Structure 1
Amino acid sequence: MVFHIAGVTVNPIVVIIWMAFVGFVFSTIGAAGGILAGVGHITIFGMKKANVIKPMNQILTLVSPIISTPLYLREKRLVVPAAISLGVGGIIGALLGSWLSHTYLKDMASYQPLFGVITFVIAGRMWYEMTPKFREKQQKVKKATKAFEEKVKELKAAGKMSEIKEIGVNFSEVGIKNTFTFAGETFRYNTLAPFLAGVFVAIISAALGVGGGFLLVPFLSSALGFPMFIVAGTSTMSIVISSLTSISNYLRMGSKLDLPMVGFELIGILIGSYLGPILSKYIKGIYLKGFLAVVLTYIGIGYVFGPMIQHAFGFRII
C-alpha cells in the first residue's frame, strides 16, 4: 500500500505488527515507546521525511498517557500541581523544541544521528535497570505499589472511597513552595523545579519526536524524591500536555500526518497494549529488557556511526 504523505510503500500488516510490538514493549516495561515508533518509521517503513516522522511518533506515545491519566487522578496517585508545572514548562519547551527541530533538523542527515544519541541513552538506562542494585530497589517498589493498589480495591469494595484521602495525594500548601502527604509521608518541592525540568525535557522530546518519560521519571523520583506510586501518573499528565503542544506546532509549521498510516499504527498499538499485560506473565521482564537493550544499542550505533562505518569498511549496519 502506498502512503503518500509518509512517502513509502509498505504492507499495512507490517505496520500493524511492528506497532503491536511497540505497544507490547511499552505496556510491559513502560519505556522506549517513542524510540521504537521512530525506529519503525525510519528503518522498518523507510520514511525519509523527518518533519513527518516527529509528530507521528508523538501521536503514538499519547495513547497510553491519555488512557492512564484519568485512572491515576481518580486514585489520587497524581501530584496535580507538579504535573501542571511540568506541563506549563512543557508548553514552552515543546514550542521551542519543535520550532528548532522543524527548522534545523528538517532532513534525515541531521535528525537521525541525534535520534541515535537518544536511542543510546535509552539503551544505557535499560542496561542500568538490569543491574542487581536497581532490580532490588524495584522489587521493593513493586511490593509497596501492590499493597497500595490492594488497599484501594478494599476501599472500593467496602464503599469507602472517601477514605482514600488518607492514603492518596493531599496538599497542605500550594504555591511556590508545595507540601503534600501520600500514604502518611510528607513531601515538599519548589514549583520552579518541575517547571524548568518541563522546559528542558520538552525541548528534547519535541525536537526528536519522543514522549520524554525516560527523562521525567528519573527527575521526579530522584531529583524531587517522589515515590514511584505517584511518579507515573504525574509524568503521564505532563506528557499529554507537552506532546499535544508539540504536535500542534509541527502541524502549524507545515508538517503533515499520514492519517491512513496512523490509523493502522494505532490498531497495532492497541493490540500490543492489550496483549502486553497478558503475555508478560509468561516472559520474564529481565529477558525482554535485555533483548531490547541489545537492539537499541545496535540501532544507536547504526544511526550515529553507520555512515562512517559504511565509508570506512564498505558495508551498512542498518
Structure 2
Amino acid sequence: MSVKLEYANNENLSFLQRHPTLREFLTSPALFITIGSFIAAVIICYTQYGYIPDGTREWPIAQIKVPLWHLLWMGLWTGYCMAIVGQAGGIFCLPYFMTILQFNTVNVSPTSTINTAVGPWGAFFGYLKGKQFNLDMAVFPILGACVGALIGPFIRVYYLSDPTAFKAIIGVLLVYMGCNLWYQITPMYLKGQQSLVTKFNEIARQRKERGEAPDGLPSDFRVETVKRDWNVVHVKYWGEELKLSSKLLVAIGFVIGVISSTLGVGGGFLLVPLMAMLGVPMYVLVTCTIPFVLALSIVSLFSYTVILPQLTGSLVGPEWGLGLFVVSGSCLGAWLASKAQRFTPDKVLKPMLGSIIGIFGLLYVLNYFFTLPFKV
C-alpha cells in the first residue's frame, strides 16, 4: 500500500521535481559557465582570426591543428576524471596539451591557466550561495599567492622556455600526484577518513529522502572566524576549533604562487596536502582553496598578458579561444563528477589514474636525461 502511495505521489510531481539533480544543474552556475565559455571562445576566434581554427586550420599562437570536438572532449574527460578524485583538471590538461596536441611553446602555460581561472567559478558561486566560504581563512595564502604569481611567469620565460626541461619539472609533480592517489587507497589513509565518510553519507541520505540533491554537508555548515590578525587565524566548525599561523599561510601561498604560475596550473594540488599537514580537514579546506586558486590564476594570467610584455617585450599570452573551448567541457565534466563521486569505487579509479599520471610524469623526467625512442 505504501509503495502504491509513494508511486502516486511521485506521479503528481513535475519532471524536474522527480529529478532534483537535473533541476540543480539547470539552475547551476556550471551550466552558464559552460555555455558562456563556448560563446566567448567563438567570439574571440572570429575577432582575432576571422574563423574558428579546426583540424584543417591552425591555431596561430599554439601552432597546432586540432578539431573543435577534440578540445571539448578533452576538457570534459580531464575535468571529470580529475574532479572525481578531488583534483583540478588543469594539472592533467597541461601534459595533454604538450604530449597529445604537441602544444610546446611557452604560451601553453597561460593557456592552461585559463582552465583554473574560469572553471572553478561554478563551485565558487555554489559555496557562496550556501555561505560556506571563510575568506578570513583564505586571505593570507591568497596574499602570498598573488605576489608569487607575479614572479612565476618571468621564471617560465627566462629559465624554463626549453620544452624538455619544462616537461621534466611537470613530470616530478605528476609522479608526486600519482603516488598521492595511490596513498589515498591505503588502510592508513582510509582509517582516518572513515568516520567522516559515515557522517557525510548519513547527511546525503537525509537530503535524498527530502527530495533534494544528495550532498555530504549540512545546509547550515559554516566555518566561522573567532579571530584573525597578522599572527593567527582562529576558526571553528562542526564543534571543532583550529588555529593557524598567518605568516606561515602567507609563506605557503607565496611558494605555491611561484610554482603554479611558472607551470600554468592552479596550485590547489599543492595547497591541499600542505594544509592537511597543518590539521585542516578537507571539508574545511575547500572553503578557502577555491578562492585561492581563482586569485592565483587571475593574477598569473595578468602577469603573462600585461606585466611580462610591458617589462620584457616578450609576447607569451594565452591562446584564449582554445583555452575557453577546453573550459566549456571541463566545467561540465567537473560538475558531473561532483554528483557521481559518491558512487565511484575509489579503489579502482584512484590507482588507475595514479598509474596513468605517474607514468606520464616518469616519461617526462626520463626524457630529460635520455633520448626516448618516441615523442613525449
Determine the structure 2 residue equivalent to 1:238.
292
Relative to structure 1, the CA distance from residue 230 to residue 146 in structure 2 (aligned partners, 3 Å threshold; closer, same or farther) is farther
Determine the structure 2 residue equivalent to 1:296.
357
Determine the structure 2 residue equivalent to 1:255.
316
Displacement of 1:308: 4.0
Unaligned runs of 5+ in 1: 158-162
CA RMSD of aligned residues (A): 2.7
1:170-209 alignment runs, 5 A limit = 170-175=224-229, 176-209=231-264
Determine the structure 1 residue equivalent to 2:76.
20
Paired amino acid for 1:5: I
Paired amino acid for 2:345: K
Relative to structure 1, the CA distance from residue 200 to residue 248 in structure 2 (aligned partners, 3 Å threshold; closer, same or farther) is same
Q: Residue 256 of structure 2 contacts residue 267 of structure 2 at CA under 8 Å; is this kept in 1?
A: yes
Displacement of 1:280: 4.8
Q: Residue 115 of structure 2 contacts residue 327 of structure 2 at CA under 8 Å; is this kept in 1?
A: yes
Secondary structure of 1:179's match? strand
| Alpha-carbon distance in structure 2 between the residues aligned to 1:20 and 1:211 | 18
Counterpart of 1:131 (choices 173, 186, 189) is: 186
Determine the structure 2 residue equivalent to 1:68.
123
Counterpart of 2:282 (choices 212, 228, 231) is: 228
| Superimposed CA distance per residue, residues 135-166 of structure 1 (whole angstroms, 9 cap, x where no aligned partner) | 23233333334556789999xx9xxxxx977x
Q: Residue 114 of structure 2 contacts residue 324 of structure 2 at CA under 8 Å; is this kept in 1?
A: no
| Alpha-carbon distance in structure 1 between the residues aligned to 2:141 and 2:79 | 25
| Superimposed CA distance per residue, residues 182-207 of structure 1 (whole angstroms, 9 cap, x where no aligned partner) | 11222212211211110011111111
Displacement of 1:209: 1.1
Displacement of 1:266: 2.0
Paired amino acid for 1:257: P
| Superimposed CA distance per residue, residues 200-253 of structure 1 (whole angstroms, 9 cap, x where no aligned partner) | 111111111111111111222221x22222111211111111111111101122
| Alpha-carbon distance in structure 1 between the residues aligned to 2:184 and 2:154 | 33
Relative to structure 1, the CA distance from residue 150 to residue 69 in structure 2 (aligned partners, 3 Å threshold; closer, same or farther) is farther
Paired amino acid for 1:20: L
Determine the structure 1 residue equivalent to 2:156.
101
Relative to structure 1, the CA distance from residue 199 to residue 10 in structure 2 (aligned partners, 3 Å threshold; closer, same or farther) is same
Q: Residue 82 of structure 2 contacts residue 92 of structure 2 at CA under 8 Å; is this kept in 1?
A: no
Counting aligned pairs with the same residue, the percent is 23
Determine the structure 1 residue equivalent to 2:347.
286
Determine the structure 2 residue equivalent to 1:160.
none
Stretch deviating more after TM superposition (33-42 or 141-150): 141-150
TM-score, length of structure 1 as denominator length? 0.86
Q: Residue 105 of structure 1 contacts residue 111 of structure 1 at CA under 8 Å; is this kept in 2?
A: yes
| Superimposed CA distance per residue, residues 8-27 of structure 1 (whole angstroms, 9 cap, x where no aligned partner) | 01222222222211111133
Displacement of 1:5: 0.9
Relative to structure 1, the CA distance from residue 203 to residue 150 in structure 2 (aligned partners, 3 Å threshold; closer, same or farther) is farther
| Superimposed CA distance per residue, residues 79-133 of structure 1 (whole angstroms, 9 cap, x where no aligned partner) | 3122110110001111112221222112313211111111111111112112122
Determine the structure 2 residue equivalent to 1:77.
132
Secondary structure of 1:186's match? strand
Paired amino acid for 1:261: L
